[in-house]
Chains A and B, each alone.
Chain A
Amino acid sequence: MIIASSGEPSLKLSTKSRTKFKKTITTTAAATKTRIHCQDVQESDPTSYSAESIGSNQDLINLIFTKLEPKHRQRCAIICKFWYSVITSRTFKYKLPPLSHLLVRWSATQSRQRSIFPAIKYSIVPLHNHQTSNRPPPQTLFRPALDFLESNDQHVNGIRIIQSCNSLFLCSPDSSIKKLNKNGAEKNNGLFPNASNVEHYVYNPGTNKFRTIPWPAVRRKTTRQVIAMNLAFDPTKSPHYKVVSLSTVRNSCSSYNQVDIYSSEKWRWRATKAEFLPNWAHVDFTNGVFFNGGVHWASHTGNTSVYFDVENEHFKIMPMPPVQGGGQRRSIRYFGESGGRLLLIDSQEQSP
């Protein structure tokens, strides 16, 4: 139960109502009577005492804020300083909406396809819809997802989700399979085997729409090898997302590392002045996690790793937990964000 505490900042009544009801704003019982006797002026002054009590009670107004979409909630910060402080406080208890859909990854094998690698497909299944009666047959609940490549590129065997970030996905075509099929031999080129050709997509599973993210520009006589490509999106802060690219640029005489940022506000890439930290060589850049304004990467060895502060555009040191079992190298089973925390699962199997 929520009880109004006297320690909260009380809100002033608007000038008009203050002169009328100055004496009766202290207790609910007294105020309810006020409300009754002020009903005849309600036409010209629509403020109700109850609404005033709610607006000045941190717990009650917080409850209403949790029901508002993030965008509408953020707008309420303009109402007054007290609301601003509630909305922007670190203790704001934002409840995530319940999970609505499940993304299912499955492989489709077709007999006429010579490839030994089945195409990867995705479907979206709603988790709760519907009336108990008239429930449609289960198979019609599935709707295809991430199927936008199938029609325009037959060489692609599927799509790879690189990262899931606050309801958006960063994906790329699974071109490693394509390359393997064509040449008949595996090339170990890391995450982005054919970097200059691989496109990236930002995909919204809610709308089934995607946008192609172009490749960051390369100057003449230089090559670019991408180290990491990650999405940074926090709908409670901004409706725009950013794609962060870490790459090594080489020309005939030198090579250097560079961070570029693509913003959905401007629809273009921009090189940053961010400098890589000395410990970056030990960092595993294949799995970036956007959390608390930064893209974080874990490290298999050592007691530090790095994250990239997207707002301020520089790298910072991230401490790593001790290696399990006293060994030298972590065996990372999971690295991700959940419920406002960064989680790392390191499971070290003891060798006999």
Chain B
Amino acid sequence: MAAETGTPTTLTLKSNDDELFSVAESAAILSVTIRNMVEDGCAGGVIPLDNVDGKTLASVITYMNGISAIPADEEKKKSYRDKFLSDKDFETLADMVLAANYLNMSCLMDAVSAKIAQVMEKKSVGWVRRKFGIENDYTPEEEAAVKEEHKWTFEGVETDDDN
């Protein structure tokens, strides 16, 4: 088990760009990945998180601390999540989905996916392709056919000037 003595137990997490973070074990074990490490007794020293950078890890830890401070009240937790995500831009949200996936935090993953979906909702096809770095692999004829098939989905959506 953790080498530190005294309560509450604190864990040290290391991001892939070598930033160190201290976090209460009770908050950190919201991540199933970290919880498994703690239960297996490999959380004694520094826990390296090879797939998360410092900026994203700092955000995730803010979330861990915030949500674990709320007693079992799903509505308050939901409103905390909404507030926590409200000022995050698309790139940060994308980083957080991957971090939440790696850390196995389903509640964060669910909330961030829903937020990304909300951001995408009214966006043009060109915006989505640019943001996700996707190259249009349809031929012009194929694209016209798919667009025709989905014509009804374009009401109230931003249009592309460059598309």
CB distance from B107 to the nearest CB of A (A): 13
On whether the beta carbons of A47 and B132 are closer than 8 Å, the reply is yes
Q: Is A78 an interface residue (CB 8 A)?
A: yes
Across the interface, B132 reaches (CB within 8 A) one of A55, A68, A74, A78, namely: A55
- Which secondary structure characterizes the binding site on chain A? helix
* Contact residues of A between 69 and 93, Cβ < 8 Å to B: 69, 71-72, 74-84
Interface flag for A149 (CB, 8 Å): no
Looking at A10-18, A218-226, A276-284, A286-294, the stretch in contact with chain B turns out to be A10-18
Chain B residues whose C-beta falls within 8 Å of the C-beta of A50 in the assembled complex: 91, 94-95, 97-98
Q: Which of A49-76 contact B (CB under 8 A)?
A: 49-55, 60, 63-69, 71-72, 74-76
A226 CB, min distance to chain B CBs, angstroms: 30
Question: Are A11 and B17 CB-contacts (below 8 A) given A32-B53, A131-B75?
Answer: no
Contact partners of A77 in chain B: CB under 8 A: 146, 149-150
Of the candidates B128, B154, B157, the one having the most CB atoms from chain A within 10 angstroms of its own CB is: B128
Of B2-10, B39-47, B63-71, B133-141, the one touching chain A:
B133-141
Query: In the complex the two chains form, is B137's CB within 8 Å of A36's CB?
Result: no
| Given A14-B129, A68-B120, A80-B129, A51-B137 contact (CB < 8 Å) | no
A41 interface residue (CB < 8 Å to B): no
Say whether B133 contacts A13, CB under 8 Å. Answer: yes
Q: Is chain B's binding surface mostly helix, strand, loop or mixed?
A: helix
Whether A79 contacts B101 by the Cβ 8 Å rule is: no
**B113 interface contact, C-beta 8 A:** yes
B133 & A55 in contact (Cβ 8 Å cutoff): yes
User: Closest chain A residue to B149 by CB distance?
Assistant: A77
Knowing A12-B135, A60-B97, A80-B138, the reply to whether A1 touches B153 (Cβ < 8 A) is no
The answer on a CB contact under 8 Å between B132 and A51 is yes
**A46 in contact (CB, < 8 A):** yes
Measured in the bound complex, the distance between the Cα atoms of B53 and A238 in whole Å is: 43
A78 and B143 in contact, given A48-B94, A54-B94 (Cβ under 8 angstroms): yes
Using CB atoms and an 8 Å cutoff, list the residues of chain A in contact with chain B: 1-2, 11-15, 17, 28-29, 32-33, 35-36, 42, 46-55, 60, 63-69, 71-72, 74-84, 131-132, 238-239
A–B pairs, 5, beta carbons within 8 Å: A1-B32, A12-B134, A29-B51, A64-B117, A132-B73
Which 10 pairs of residues, A with B, have the shortest CB-CB distance?
A: A55-B132, A47-B133, A67-B117, A75-B153, A50-B94, A51-B94, A52-B133, A48-B91, A67-B114, A1-B104
Binding site for A on B (CB under 8 A): 16-17, 32-33, 50-53, 73, 75, 90-91, 94-95, 97-98, 101-102, 104, 109-110, 113-114, 116-118, 120-121, 125, 128-138, 143, 146-147, 149-150, 152-154, 157
